[in-house]
Amino acid sequence: MKLSKCLAGLALLTLLTVVMVGCSGKPTQANYDKVDHGMTISQVESLLGKGEKQVAGMLGGITGDIYRWKTPDNQTIHVTFKDGKVVTKIIL
């Protein structure tokens, strides 16, 4: 009986992990289009997944923290944050 409860708990934990991973954002054109000026890094990462922080720099004439994502079709998404909010975005 204890073994079946343990296996049931393990199955539930596995299912929850799969669901949570499946809910994380993906760097796609459709999700890029949802990124709006004024969004926070956590809001953007909920759409695009975990970003790779680049050195602080300038993009589109604006200085700030630049994050980068690679799309499945090898495009690169760059988003600049100033004071923790999106100020520019570009997909190449």
Residue type, 3: L
d(CA 27, CA 9): 32
d(CA 31, CA 69): 11
pTM of the predicted model as reported, rounded to 2 decimal places: 0.69
Residue spans of the domains in the chain: they are 25-91
How many residues are recorded in the chain?
Answer: 92
3-class state of residue 50 by DSSP: coil
Give pLDDT tens digits for 15-24: 434 334 445 6
Under CATH, to which class is 25-91 assigned? alpha beta
Residue 56's pLDDT is what?
Answer: 78
